[in-house]
Amino acid sequence: MRQVHPLVMLVPVIAATLFGRMLPTWTLSLATIAASNALVALGIVVLARTGNVSFGQGLVFAAGGYGVALIANSWGITDAVAQMLIGAVCGGLIGLAIGPLISRYSGIFFGMLTLALSMVFYGALVKTTVLGGSDGFNVVRPSLFGISFVDPREADFMLYAVSVVTTGLAGIAAAVLFRSEFGLASLAVRENNLRVEYLGISANRIITINFVIAAVFAGASGAFALMAQRHIDPQFAYWTTSGEFVFVAVLAGYQSVAAVFVASLALELVRSFSNLYLPNTWQLVLGVFLLAVILFLPRGIGSLWTRQRRKRAESSAATSTAAEEGVAS
Amino acid sequence: MSTVLSVRGLDKRFGAVVAADALSLDIAPGQKVSLIGANGAGKTTFVNMVTGYLKPDSGSITLDGIDIGRRSPRSVARLGISRSFQIPQLFIELTAAENLAVAVSGMQARTLSLVSPAEAGGRRDKAIELLQRFGLANLADRPISELAGGVRKLIDIAMALVRRPKLLLLDEPTSGVSAEEKFATMDRVIHAVAPDAATIVFVEHDMEIVSRYADRVVAFYSGRILADGNPQDVLKDPEVRRYVTGGAQ
Amino acid sequence: MNLFLTIVLDGLIEASWLFVVALGLTLVFGVLKILNIAHGSFYALGAYIAATAVTIAAAYSLPPALGFVAMLLSVALIAAVVGLLLERGLLKMFYGRDEVVLLLVTYAVFLILEDTTKLIWGVNPIYASQPYELFGNAEFAGLNYVGYDLLLIPASAAIGLAVWFGLNRTVMGKIVLAVIHNEEMSVSMGVRVNRVYAAAFAFGVLLAALAGALTAPKISMQPGLSSDVIILSFAIVVIGGLGSVEGAAIGAILVGLARAASVHLMPQAELFVIYLIMAAVLMFRPEGLFKRETARRI
């Protein structure tokens, strides 16, 4: 497998950032949203390699957003990078808190539990008047390294740059992770978590760490969403928000980091264009798009350029039933 | 008297089924013990309890003096017991070398590296070395899904060997292997295990394999030990003939 | 005491329509092993169609009672037909693939139906409250209750009993149960599983739409209805046990009561208490409160 060196991957990141200078404002906003969605989806992909899909990333996404919003408003921290880091930390703390709990569940139960927890958070947020209830509240414009950006174009570019660089770095980190010892063990957990235990490795620990990584990414992304909208509300934690992130991850497939960016960008383009030409149809177009991908690219967009990895579903299912038979005869 | 594994008064019931009934057994280092018995006699349950997958209802299991009866499979593995499975438990989508690399990762006490490449740090070397012992080095980069059952069986055993266990439990190492290949397979296994001089316990149904490779045979029936001794004596025992081998005259 | 009765009554009224929706969802899961994310969309569809039917009936000056019945029938019919077409035309293509695939397909259908309803009925709230006055008011425990609401309780109970009876006492029902319990066996015994699938799915979405039609007079129809309903009915089905009819009833009652209790006692908890129960059930009794032996390792 051609393995690209991590430092080389910085090139497209820098290029994309500089390229933003030439883009019109509406494209910049679109790209910023795409980058921040990609960040969450990337986390989902990281976690999915252990065989567990989180349908509740809205929980940490909102935790990041609300955390940053509260801290920004209370302590007047407006620096974009600082906000991103705070978001990441908030997400990470939640991840550490619930990771050990949910890592004990697998497959569909894992998914349902993450969903339930995100909705618990949503329900709590909606009724918390101190946080603005279902209306949420506003925050001020972000700044960068002490500079305030009054010109909307400059402000948009600043946000674009910070989000693209952050997501890019996260992507590089993910690529390194996928190739690492830990990354291989994560795949092993998906294939046969029983054997992993028999080899002296804690499958739960691996799942927890992956979950925390996903939470950190989602928390940082929550900060970006906050900065872009300058507004936070409980919708960040709603199931449809979580669903969209999973949608991007599924669209991308689980093999290639680059595919996550492509998928996220594709989603935003589809959304923008259908909103432009046929209002109230972007979901319809997206739905049809999803069906098309499921039919023709079952392994996601990434499969277009990643070496075909072998049959997934049947083998994993066979292995897990075999695991039961193998130890219980 | 030094024992590697010491089992005392082990009980295990599944509803009305008695899988273990006051089982007591001592295994000395270096022995090659074969467990025989009809299906449901309790052999695999015994293996499951020794490796921590099942907890006994009562009784004790000690490894080199350490009580392991209530420990998890992970903990037991770290203490020096490894097992292979009747149906190979492998990471199907990964390559043979990757499977073994994961096993090598499992050996260290420290957390797995989030940065260091999967097969670096000597892991690939170790993986290849183990594959070589079984004559499978040329298949190192083939995914398990492309490999035949017999090869998977051997890789399954190789995985168990990575930790250089004090006690190696093999669950039907030659099942699914064709009659002509059985001896060759078992030869390979014994040969591969030799450098680590582990104590081996293997569950087997094939009495030829048993008489050739075991220096001690323990026969199970309904969760109890029917006979325990050297292969010739045990296999000739009338009760064993009746309940286990269904022996021909 | 009055408060207690109020909570119980409010809770049961809520539980009534929740049960009907959840029943549809759990049946579809039990038979087809699909979690239909578009289930809530059918609820919304039912509500919207009902609203339109009521408006048409009023325009033609039909007696309200007749209009009401016509509304229910038309909703049931349309939903069943759409459901049938959906199952045979689309879902069938993905059977045999990974279960996640079907989940994504129903998610795609959900997205498509969201916008379809927006395109047909617009984004502004729609009301259809004429039937709400059909049954007058009643006083109970010192409080005024709308007759329509109170009648929802026996109505949904009747639906529940009818389904229970249908499943357990008729030949067709037993065949459906057989498919729920052990599909492979059913196939080998000659059951036309395809037909059972189609019928079960159509019936499931019929129930969702019916629930929508029944609640239409009480609510305002607007975008977002389907996403709220699906997550709620999903919670109920998880609490009660996926694939269990009794579970859907227990889950609905529990959620209805929890909601009523929070509204009266601690309004801040209203939403999250339901999902807290769902999370708790998943953690401590993942197969749901009504353990169905067939809820095999999902």
**Contact with chain C for residue A128, Cβ under 8 A:** yes
Return the residue of A nearest to C91 by Cα.
A291
The shortest CB-CB distance from A180 to any of B48, B90, B117 is to B117
Minimal CA–CA distance to C80: which of C205, C208, C213, C216? C205
Domain edges within chain A: 6-328
Q: How far is CA B90 from CA A186, A255, B94, C162, C164, in A?
A: 14, 20, 9, 49, 45
- Model's pTM, two decimal places? 0.89
pLDDT band at A311 (very low <50, low <70, confident <90, very high): very low
**Per-residue confidence (pLDDT) for residue A170, from 0 to 100:** 95
The shortest CB-CB distance from A185 to any of B78, B82, B112 is to B112
CA–CA separation, C242 and A66 (whole Å)? 34
Please report the residues numbered 181 through 200 in chain A whose beta carbons come closer than 8 angstroms to any beta carbon of chain B. 181-185, 187-188, 191-192, 194-200
Residues whose CB falls within 8 Å of the CB of residue B159, separated by 6 or more in sequence, listed in order = A195, A199, B84, B90, B99, B100, B103
The domain defined by B5-80+165-245 carries CATH number 3.40.50.300? yes
Distance from CA of A196 to the nearest CA of C (A): 20
Q: Do A287 and C274 touch (CB under 8 A)?
A: no
**Per-residue confidence (pLDDT) for residue A27, from 0 to 100:** 85
This model of the complex carries an ipTM of: 0.91
**Per-residue confidence (pLDDT) for residue C298, from 0 to 100:** 32
Domain edges within chain B: 5-80+165-245
User: Which residue of B43, B51, B53, B92 to mutate against A (max A Cβ within 10 Å)?
Assistant: B92
Q: Do C108 and A250 touch (CB under 8 A)?
A: no
Q: Do B145 and A310 touch (CB under 8 A)?
A: yes
In sequence order, what are the beta bridge partners of B165?
none
List pLDDT tens digits, range B16-71: 888 898 899 999 998 999 999 988 888 989 999 999 999 999 999 999 889 998 99
Look at residue A259 and give its three-state secondary structure. helix
Distance from CA of A295 to the nearest CA of B (A): 23
Q: Are B and C close enough to touch, i.e. 3+ CB pairs under 8 angstroms? A: no
pLDDT band at C263 (very low <50, low <70, confident <90, very high): confident
Strands B58-63 and B66-67: antiparallel
pLDDT above 60 for A155: yes
- Contacting partners of chain C (3+ CB pairs under 8 A): A
Which residues in chain B are contacts of A191 at CB distance < 8 A? 90-94
List pLDDT tens digits, range C180-236: 888 888 888 888 888 899 999 999 999 999 999 999 888 889 898 999 999 999 999
> C99-121 and A239-252 helices cross at what angle (nearest 10)?
120
Minimal CA–CA distance to A134: which of A260, A258, A237? A237
The shortest CB-CB distance from C282 to any of A109, A126, A240 is to A109
Which residues in chain C are contacts of A115 at CB distance < 8 A? 234
**Per-residue confidence (pLDDT) for residue A301, from 0 to 100:** 65
**Per-residue confidence (pLDDT) for residue C291, from 0 to 100:** 62
CATH topology of domain A6-328: ABC transporter involved in vitamin B12 uptake, BtuC (1.10.3470)
CATH topology of domain C2-284: ABC transporter involved in vitamin B12 uptake, BtuC (1.10.3470)
Q: Which two tokens stand for residue B78?
A: 């770290």
Which position has the token pair 């003939």?
B241
B1 CB-contact burial (10 Å; exposed 0-12 / middle 13-18 / buried 19+): exposed
Which residues in chain B are contacts of A4 at CB distance < 8 A? none
Would you give the DSSP letter of residue C281?
H
Distance from CA of A328 to the nearest CA of B (A): 7
Domain edges within chain C: 2-284
Distance from CA of C283 to the nearest CA of A (A): 8
The shortest CB-CB distance from C111 to any of A123, A286, A312 is to A286
In three-state form (DSSP H/G/I as H, E/B as E, the rest C), the secondary structure along chain B is: CCCCEEEEEEEEEECCEEEEEEEEEEECCCCEEEEEECCCCCHHHHHHHHCCCCCCCEEEEEECCEECCCCCHHHHHHHCEEEECCCCCCCCCCEHHHHHHHHHHHHCCCCCCCCCECCCCCHHHHHHHHHHHCCCHHHCCCEHHHCCHHHHHHHHHHHHHCCCCCEEEEECCCCCCCHHHHHHHHHHHHHHHHHHCCEEEEECCCHHHHHHHCCEEEEEECCEEEEEECHHHHHHCHHHHHHHHCCCC
